[in-house]
Structure 1
Amino acid sequence: MRARRGLRAVLALPLALVLAVSLAACGGEEDSQDFTGRRLENHWQVPDVSLTATDGSPYSLAEDADDPITLVFFGYTNCPDICPLVMNNIAASMNRLTDADREQVGMVFVTTDPARDDEKTLRRYLDGYDDSFVGLTGDLDDIIALGEPLNVYVSDGKKLPTGGYDLGGHSTFVLAVEDDEAMVIWNEETSATEFATDIHTLLEED
């Protein structure tokens, strides 16, 4: 098992480079200047992988994300910088939506650090942003299996002699999932206003 995880970590860097290059050309028709996210010409299929929600129930992103649009972000509660930035912007974007739009949008946070992010830890963390956000944890192999088809890099974290963890980084983009397919991605610099504008555009298209 450790050898397999190590191989994934080695392969992840080339994958990340390929992804970075491919994103520039992944859009189909030219996106509107008012649309910040990147539309995926070939949608990424969400695998049917069961994880554990913060209430202890099984949750499959492919089967249980039944909102018209579900935002998905992989991160961890001890992340010092990028995760709080992204989560703050997502939470703020929800407050910018109309009530009608807000009712059609879900948000799922998948931990990349399940060793420390149990159900209670995740729930406490997400409640600081929005108590409707879904948090998922589980076996690291299952989290990797969910992330790989979505081009999400999940590091096999190592405990440091100091007692901390070296997670080796993680993907920082946000996905929009609809009907078990990822169709749009946003980078970590996307603002709350940009998220809200794009979400409204996507909902109007449906």
Structure 2
Amino acid sequence: MRRSLRALGRSAAAAAAALLVLSSCGSEATPAGEPSGTAVEPPFDVAATTLRDTEGEPFALAEDTTDPLTLVFFGYTRCPDVCPAVMSTITSALTRLDEETREQVQVVFVTTDPSRDDPATLRRYLDRFDEDFVGVTGELAEIGELAESVGVFVAGAEELASGGYDLGSHGAQVIAVDQDGQAPMYWGQDTSSAEYAHDIELLVGDL
């Protein structure tokens, strides 16, 4: 029987507790078949914030995630290191999946630099990874509201006296969102493509 994202989140939380016990005994074993991602208990309720996709259409993450699993990342196109690394890892992970599983997964990139990441810029950036990825933008306050609802920190950009830009910072988590508009799991920036692929198969499959 297919297990829901919420059920797997509870399973991951139990596995984490078990791992702490094992660690205290000097063991480094990880429960086989459990997700690498971090469970959120209770799951985050995704804010009903309406932004815009790269086609100019309204996009509300809480309502428009129609696939069984959506991976959400907050970043910006001029990010020199973390953002392209995370997006490349996700892209690589998707190539590890069979076609049936891949069709059940969507990726949404929410810009944290909306003043410069217009829809055309976002689309060109995402097409470097996968043309099916969804790009989303809007007012920074709205983006921050959405990010906060799923536990991601976002700081706005400020123009410097030197003429450069200080983008502050943003969380590098990748968030799992289900069809119920809840986020029961997230991954850190050091997650490998193999770990993503393994977790995705658990989250949408019948393992």
TM-score by length of 1: 0.84
* Cα separation, 2, equivalents of 1:136 and 1:145: 14
Shift of 1:119: 0.2
- Deviation, structure 1 residue 78: 0.5
Look up the match of 2:149: 149
Tell me the CA shift for residue 33 of structure 1. 4.5
Segments of 5+ residues of structure 1 without an aligned counterpart are 1-26
Q: What's the secondary structure of 1:28's corresponding residue?
A: helix
**Residues 33 and 79 (structure 1 numbering): CA distance in 2 closer, same or farther, change over 3 Å?**
farther
Kindly report which structure 2 residues correspond to 1:66-77, keeping only aligned pairs within 5 A, or say none.
66-77=66-77
For 1:29, what is the secondary structure of its paired residue? Answer: helix
Q: How does 1:66-105 map to 2 (within 5 A)?
A: 66-105=66-105
The answer as to whether partners of 2:13 and 2:38 remain within 8 angstroms in 1 is no
Identity of aligned pairs, percent? 47
Structure 1 partner of 2:13: 28
Q: What is the RMSD computed on CA atoms of the aligned residues?
A: 1.4
Tell me the equivalent position of 2:6.
none
Counterpart residue identity of residue 137, structure 2? T
- Kindly provide the amino acid, as one letter, of the partner of residue 193 in structure 1: A
Aligned to 1:38: 38
Counterpart-to-counterpart distance in 1, 2:110 and 2:78: 13
Paired with 2:138 and 2:164, the residues of 1 have a C-alpha distance of: 20
- For 1:150, give the aligned amino acid: V
User: C-alpha offsets along residues 57-89 of structure 1, whole Å, 9 cap, x if unaligned?
Assistant: 010001111100000000000001100110000
Tell me the distance in 1 between the aligned counterparts of 2:50 and 2:164.
28
- Secondary structure in structure 2 of the residue aligned to 1:87: helix
- Provide the residue aligned with 1:189 in structure 2: 190
Higher mean C-alpha displacement, 158-167 vs 138-147: 158-167
Rounded Cα–Cα distance in structure 1 between residues aligned with 2:83 and 2:71: 14
Question: How far does residue 205 in structure 1 lie from its aligned partner after superposition?
Answer: 5.3
- In structure 2, runs of 5+ residues without a counterpart are 1-11, 17-30
Structure of larger gyration radius: 2
**Structure 2 matches for 1:145-184, cutoff 5 A?**
145-178=145-178, 179-184=180-185
- Secondary structure of 1:43 counterpart: strand
The two structures have a TM-score, normalised by structure 2, of: 0.84
The CA distance in 1 between the partners of 2:115 and 2:80, in whole Å, is 17
Mapped partners of 2:163, 2:73: distance in 1: 26
Q: d(CA) in 2 for partners of 1:185 and 1:33?
A: 19
| 2:73 alignment partner AA | F
Whole-angstrom distance in 2 between the partners of 1:66 and 1:49: 16
Equivalents in 2 of 1:149, 1:202: separation in Å? Answer: 21
Q: What letter matches 1:201 in structure 2?
A: L
- Per the TM alignment, residue 168 of structure 1 is displaced from its structure 2 partner at its CA by 1.4
Shift of 1:204: 2.1
CA distance in 2, matches of 1:140, 1:82: 20
Aligned-partner residue type, residue 184 of structure 1: M
Q: Output the amino acid matched with 2:201.
A: H
Please state whether the residue corresponding to 2:15 is helix, strand or coil.
coil
- Partner of residue 138, structure 2: 138
Equivalent residue pairs, number: 180
Partner Cα separation in structure 2 for residue 190 and residue 153 of structure 1: 19
1:103 to partner: Cα distance? 0.5
